[in-house]
Copies of this chain bind each other. A is one copy, B any other.
Amino acid sequence: MTGTEKAAEHRPEGSPESLIKVSALREGTVIDHLVAGTALKVLSVLGMRFDGAVMVGLNLDSRKAGRKDIIKIERRELTPAEVARIALISPRATFSIIRDFKVVRKFTPELPDVVEGLVRCPNPSCISNATWVASKFTVLRADPLRVRCRYCERSLKKEEIELL
């Protein structure tokens, strides 16, 4: 199993710290305070196509929430639709937009009263599952999330929600 193996008495450049050191973000987005365990779902919402570097922290210690996830994306700012999807996954996430190494904007999105085209209705006979109809849900509560389909009135808890 072991090919090349080295002792580690002298590693001036290779401490655990330096192995994980990353440069500061010049331009991009930091999504902080994600509910622990949701970062990979958020990455999939973002389509997993990234030109620049992406750093993901899972299960990190957080003063606010015990454990949290964090994502830092180089050279990318998010669309309002992407922010809304992420807010559905993790309602207390904070977004920081970085330009030239500075936080130029920081915000916590508020969920809109109605979300359109973002959530799949699990009711197979609901009209919103027809390809020509955009799903539409009323947000009943943000955290824990609860939504209700505007077509068939089915109400969904957070764990029942499947994003489109």
Residue positions of A touching B, CB distance < 8 A = 1-6, 8, 11, 14-17, 19-20, 22, 24-25, 30, 32, 40, 43, 48, 50-61, 70, 72, 74, 80, 83-84, 96, 98, 101-110, 112
Contacts and interface: CB of A to CB of B under 8 A. Distances in A.
Contacts of A110: 1-3
Contacts of A105: 5, 8
Contacts of A53: 57-61
A58 B71 CA distance: 11
Given A1-B83, A106-B5, A107-B3, A30 B22 contact: no
B11 A103 contact: yes
Nearest to A43: B40
A17 to B, nearest CB: 4
Given A6-B106, A83-B1, A22 B57 contact: yes
B106 A8 contact: yes
A107 B55 contact: no
A69 to B, nearest CB: 9
